[in-house]
Each structure stands twice: as structure tokens, then as C-alpha cells.
Structure 1
Amino acid sequence: MSTEGRSETASSAPASALESASFVHLVARADGDALAASGLLARALAARETPYQVSIGRTVADRTDRVNDRDPTADDATIAVGAVDADVTRLETDDRPATLAALEVVRDLEASPDPVLALAGLVAAGVEPGAGECEWILEAARERELVERRPGLAVPSADPVGGCAHSTQVAAPWSGDPDATRAALDDLDVALDDPDSLADDDYRAIGSAVALDVVGDDRAVDAAAETIQRALRPYATPEHAFETVGGYADVLEATARTEPGTGAALAMGHDAHEPALAAWREYGRRAHTSLEGASTGRYDGLFVLGIDDGPVEAVARLAVSFRSPEPTVLVVAEDEAAIATRGDDALGATLEAITRDLKETGAAGVTYDSANRRGYLRYDPDVDQSTIIEIVRALR
């Protein structure tokens, strides 16, 4: 489908709703792509001096509740970024990133999108900057000298040790542990404690060392080599609060799921850099700790990890990218689970079916969310985890 066709149809309803609204409620899915999309829309509304509110909902039910809890006036508009069970205007996000849909709406409103935020949202959605429909936004960023390609690793912070240790775009033997990360990088002739002195050769040495440790890990699967390539040679952002586009995307992912208020403020352009980085560090630490301590089970086409605590979606993404011998990963915790796949399938129908089958067993409190290549389940702690595994096995 052409970009022109999408612009004339897919973005017209949201743009029309925003143009005529006296107040806008943006209700977004809890991931980096949807967070960036809501930020792009919020900034366009701010430029038009239209009052707005941004709400982040972890599941379809959460977002539906956010919509139903408000009593809008006739001139209010609600825009959903992600699925909701309510009659509201939605961005078209079923088969492509929410960020792309938001960019079309922003252009229809004749506003100027922040190219760095847009690129970070696209990276969070798994899109290579400059690919396909998003080529124009990369070119806009380059023309304004907002991004530049350089060697190294896509991290948000200037500190190379902390950046490598807490990144959820990497799974190496030292991930999650700054001391172990420093020990792994100490042999390089690089001033690790003086980020301002780092040159291209230093970034190149760090990136090469990280890549070798990732693919050289005895637990790494073939997909690890492809995944780590996407984190190398990042787009640096010399005038931005975060060091790289990919690092910014990592922060958006972390805050969307653990500190949504901070994440929303960040996407809207407020000064939330330091609390967002703190949330990202804790998110990365917990994700890597959980991945290392997980129990595992392998089935035909499905790799299952059991964890006691931790961000299930980050663990699933790390596992499917670096550790899983199967194309689909299920991470199960006490009251939530996550699914990630290496394919391009939209998991909405699968998550709906899993939710339905779980409810038929008498499981309580079951809700879900989904996007391309990932899904999320929440349920009461007394739900039998073996039942979840059997249902997912049957459907995958």
C-alpha cells in the first residue's frame, strides 16, 4: 500500500477529530512506539494550543477503562493508540508502527514533528531508520544536523559502561552488571571514565568488543548475530539529551512499561531526562537478572522461561533475540506473561484466543495486549501457569 493512499484515508479521521476538538484525550499502548506516537500528537496539539491529556494503558482493558472513566463534552475527542473496546477514533496501527500513523496525522495538521522522537519510536517498533515509509523523517533529521551515523553501540547515556550494562538491546555474559561490564571493557585502550574524550576509534572498539561477547556467548543462538547488528553503528544525536536514537528508543520502552508518567512527560518534550534514565537503568538491570535466573523449557516451536520477578516483555524480547532456540518465546511470572516472536506476525488474534481459552478454564483477572511480534497477559496470581503454557503451545 502506498504512503499516499494511507495519508488520504488512514490519517483523515484522527486529523479531523484533532482539528475540531476543544480537548483531546490520547490513550496509548504501553510501549516505546505508542509512547512516541502519543508524544508526536501531543506536541502538535500544544502547537495548536489545544488542551490535551495523555494516558498510558498496559492492556486493552486498562485503556478501555481510561476511555470510559471520562465524561467528555461534545467538543472533546479521544484518540486511541492501540486497541480499545470503545467507540473512539483510532490510529491505524494494526499492520505498521503507531509512530508512522502519528507522523501522517501531524503532517495533515500542518505541524512539524520532532524527527528524533519519531526515529526513536520507529526503532522501538523494530524499524530501521530510513527504511521504506520513514525515509523522509531520517532525511529531515539529517538536514537539520540532528543525527549523525557513528561507530559504537546504541545507548542513551554518555557513560559507555553504564550504557552497555543496562541496554536491553544487548545480551552478553556481563549484561546487567556494571562491574562485570567494566571488567570486560577494561582491556580496551579506551578512557571509559572520560566520555567526552571518546573518538570514533574508541566507539568502534567498544562496539566490536560488545558484539564479540554477544555472539561468543555459549548460550547465544543464530539470531543473536543479526540482532546485535541493529544495535551497532547508531545514529548519534549530538544536540539531544540522549546520546543515540536507539538509546532513546530503549528509554521509551522502559518508561512506557515501568514509569508511564515519566515516559509520557519525556515524549511530550518535558524535562524528564534524569528520571527516565534512572527508570531505564533499573529496567535493564531487572531484565538481565531475570533472564539469567530463569527456568527454561523447550517445546516444538516454543521456548518457555519462568521468572520470579522482572519485566516480562523485556525478558521475552531478549530471549527471542539472543537465547531462544525456538522462534517463539513465552515468559511466565506470578501474575503476568509475555510472548515474543522472531516472525512478523501480528499477535492480536492469538492473544485474544489465549485470553478466551484461559477464561474458559475458570482463570480470573485475565487481560491482554498485543502488537507486532509481542504480546502481554495479566492474570490473578492463583492462575495455574502450566495451563497458560499448554494453551500457548496449542495456539502457536
Structure 2
Amino acid sequence: MAATGRQTAAADLAASLREAGFVRLAPAATGDGVAAAGVLARSLSAIDIPYQIGVETGETSRSTEADVTLALDRDQPGVDETLGTARPASAAAFEVARTLDDQSASVAVAAAGVLASGKEPTGQLVEAIAEAGIKRRPGVTVPTDDLVDGLAHSTRLHAPFSGDPDAVRNTLQNVSIEPQDDEERRRLASIVALQVADAGDAATRAAESIADALRPHAGGPLVTLEGYGDVLDAAVREDPGAAVAIALGHEDARADALDAWRSHARSAHETLAEASIQRHSGLVVAEIEGPIETIARLLRDYRSPEPLALVADEDRVALAATGEHDAATVLETATESFDLSGRVAGDADLATQQYPGDVERLVAAIREVNRDA
């Protein structure tokens, strides 16, 4: 959509929200979804519009109590408006929030949500980031001042030390873990990048993926915007209440959100490190018990030699795809003849589906889709 079209859409939605007696925000359990909810809620609060935030893990239905119901980062029927289908929900929410009340529109939350979605800020958000004095700097994207803690639990990268603070300390024993200048930060980033790229099980793509964890935007409530987005994305899957609270700016929720982030990261990294990965033409598969969305993303970016990564637990599957494939479309096409409850959720990068069935059958169906593409 052209910029003028987006501005018109933002103004129209803002007008509807101003007239609402009560607004329901229904974000997906993603960093982008919960950040978008935080951005909108702050501006609704500033103009005294009551709202409710309910993180959605299943089907969204319209609330009879709400004048306006918004789905955020998930395409769902039965709502008044959906943000996040064509671009990150946080970016769209930021434009609406600025129209509602420019002073309360949080650039840090919006940018963190966009970065959590795997995209880069564009348009109004880039200008707002610059106006806020937030700049990129050398180093690694972490959400804590404790670099060992930040690297051990980051889900923006997967390295031999991931999930293990002692392993991080051993890796960084010849570099300052409290860098004081850009030169020290560059050295640190180089060591981390080499650890990722040279890992014995690393895919060729890992050397490209690690770039997304370097040169962070320094600022925001959690050291870097990328680190803030990482915490939102991990915490909302473990402790939605804590994730919503830090998206709203509640300082007393920070410790709980960081604890949820650490727990999520340890589970994801440890499970991925121990997973048995099956390789097929165009697809790798791991059957695990753990946070499937995060594991699928990390598997795709750091360990998969193929463009699609499928992760399955007992009840659900997550499919992560590189740019030449559309994860949601592939999963929808592969399962369209299956008798499944629920819809495919997600987007081109990462999609999920309730799937308690035979994984081998699904693998065969996905491979068939790939052959027909």
C-alpha cells in the first residue's frame, strides 16, 4: 500500500477508536503482536478510551462488549480490523497511535516489535527513531547490561554457548565483557560471529543470519531495541501478562519478563542442540518437546541447509521458511485435505498449525507442495 493509502487507513482507524466506548486488542502471542498492543494501548489511555488486551493463542471472536475489536499480527475473522497482514503490526499501530495522540506513541515499543518480526523499521518509524536520538552502534543485540546473561539467553542467535552462561564466559575470556568503546564492541561482535559461523553443526546460512544480531539500535528500556523485541517475543510465549506489562511500560514487570525470556531461551537452545534433525530435499524436520516457534526459526537460520524447517511436538507444528518460500501458504496447501481443527496462523516467515497427526504424512505433503511449486 502506498504511503498515502496507509496514512488514510491509519486516520480512519484512529477515528473509529476515538468514537469507541471500549476497545479490545487481541494480539498474537508474538513480539510484534504484543508490541502493537502496547503502542495502541498507550495512546488509547492518553485519550481516555477504555481498552482490554487479551493475548490470543486460538481463534479470535468478536467481543459483544467491545465497540472495536482489533486483531494484531494475526489474520482472523470476526474482528473489526486486522493489523499486521501486509507489514509488521507494530509499524501500522505506530501510525494509528500517532494519529490518536502523537505524544504518547512509543517509538521504542513499535521499533522493538518490528525488529522482533524479523523486519527493519521503515517510513515514519525510521524518522521517529532518529528523532528520539536512537542510533546503531557496533556490538551484539542484548536486553541486559550483563553481557554474559544477554548472550547466553538471546534468541536472535544460536551458538555453541547459547543457553549456558559459563560457556559464554569461557568464550569471552580474552575480551572485555563490559566494552567501553566501539572498538571493544567490534571485537566482541567478531568473536560472537565466528563462534556462530564456525560451529560444527552450523549451516551456511548462519553466517548471514548472525548479521541480524549485530550492530543494534542502542536505546529503549532494555539496552537495545533488538533486545527489547527479543524479550517481548520470548516472554509472551511464557508469561503473556509480563510481556504485556513491559509493552505498556510497567517497570515492576521487568524482572518477570526477563525471567520468562531466560526460561524460554534455555529451553529453545538446549532442545535445538540435542534435537535429531532429519534432512529431506528442501526441508529439515525435528520432532521435539519445547517452544516450537522459536526453535523452528533458529533451526532455519542457524542449522538448516534447506529453505524450510519443520518442528513438531505432540500437538502442533511450526514451519519456518526462507525468502523464496511462504511458510503459511506451504502449510495451508499441505494440510488442506487433512481433517484438522484450527487455521494456519503466521506469515511467510513462520507459520503454525494444530497438528496431532503423523509427522511423516505432513512431511510428504510439504515435499509434494515443493515439487509442484
Kept in 1, the 8 Å contact 2:74–2:83? The answer is no
Q: What code does the residue aligned with 2:125 have?
A: I
Question: Among 377, 382, 390, which residue is 2:353 paired with?
Answer: 377
Q: What code does the residue aligned with 1:58 have?
A: T
Kept in 1, the 8 Å contact 2:318–2:350? The answer is yes
Q: Deviation of residue 344 (structure 1)?
A: 6.1
Kept in 2, the 8 Å contact 1:40–1:117? The answer is yes
Report the count of equivalent residues: 368
- Identical residues among aligned pairs (%): 39
Specify the alignment match of 2:109 in structure 1. 117
Kept in 1, the 8 Å contact 2:75–2:345? The answer is no
Question: Aligned to 2:26, what secondary structure does the other structure show?
Answer: strand
Question: Among 79, 85, 88, which residue is 2:79 paired with?
Answer: 88
Question: Aligned to 1:165, what secondary structure does the other structure show?
Answer: helix
Give the Cα–Cα distance (whole angstroms) in 2 for the partners of residues 86 and 297 of structure 1.
36
Are 1:368 and 2:368 an aligned pair? no
Q: Aligned runs of 1:211-360 on 2, under 5 Å?
A: 211-237=193-219, 240-271=220-251, 272-307=253-288, 309-343=289-323, 346-359=326-339
Once the two structures are overlaid, the 10-residue window that deviates more, 48-57 or 13-22, is: 13-22
Specify the alignment match of 1:33 in structure 2. 32
Question: Among 85, 109, 127, which residue is 1:139 paired with?
Answer: 127
Specify the alignment match of 2:45 in structure 1. 46
Once the two structures are overlaid, the 10-residue window that deviates more, 335-344 or 37-46, is: 335-344
Give the Cα–Cα distance (whole angstroms) in 2 for the partners of residues 302 and 371 of structure 1.
18
Superposed structure 1 runs of 4+ greater than 4 Å apart = none
Give the Cα–Cα distance (whole angstroms) in 1 for the partners of residues 297 and 165 of structure 2.
21
Question: Aligned to 2:102, what secondary structure does the other structure show?
Answer: coil
Q: Deviation of residue 198 (structure 1)?
A: 3.4
Kept in 2, the 8 Å contact 1:211–1:228? The answer is yes
Question: Aligned to 2:118, what secondary structure does the other structure show?
Answer: coil
Specify the alignment match of 1:3 in structure 2. 3
Specify the alignment match of 2:366 in structure 1. 392
Give the Cα–Cα distance (whole angstroms) in 2 for the partners of residues 283 and 80 of structure 1.
25
Question: Aligned to 2:54, what secondary structure does the other structure show?
Answer: strand
Give the Cα–Cα distance (whole angstroms) in 2 for the partners of residues 198 and 85 of structure 1.
47
Deviation digits for residues 38-89 of structure 1, max 9, x if unmatched? 1111111001111100111124x2x23xx3xx4326xx21111144553322
CA root-mean-square deviation: 2.0
Question: Aligned to 1:375, what secondary structure does the other structure show?
Answer: strand
Q: What code does the residue aligned with 1:177 have?
A: D
Give the Cα–Cα distance (whole angstroms) in 2 for the partners of residues 107 and 316 of structure 1.
34
Question: Among 76, 98, 105, which residue is 1:107 paired with?
Answer: 98
Deviation digits for residues 163-190 of structure 1, max 9, x if unmatched? 11111111111111111111111122x1
TM-score by length of 1: 0.87
Question: Aligned to 2:143, what secondary structure does the other structure show?
Answer: coil
Q: Deviation of residue 354 (structure 1)?
A: 4.2
Q: Aligned runs of 1:168-247 on 2, under 5 Å?
A: 168-188=155-175, 190=176, 192=177, 195=178, 198-237=180-219, 240-247=220-227
Q: Deviation of residue 367 (structure 1)?
A: 4.7
Q: Which runs of 5+ in 2 are unaligned?
A: none
TM-score by length of 2: 0.92
Deviation digits for residues 208-251 of structure 1, max 9, x if unmatched? 110011111122222111111121111111xx430101101101
Give the Cα–Cα distance (whole angstroms) in 2 for the partners of residues 98 and 318 of structure 1.
22
Q: Which runs of 5+ in 1 are unaligned?
A: none
Q: What code does the residue aligned with 2:152 have?
A: A
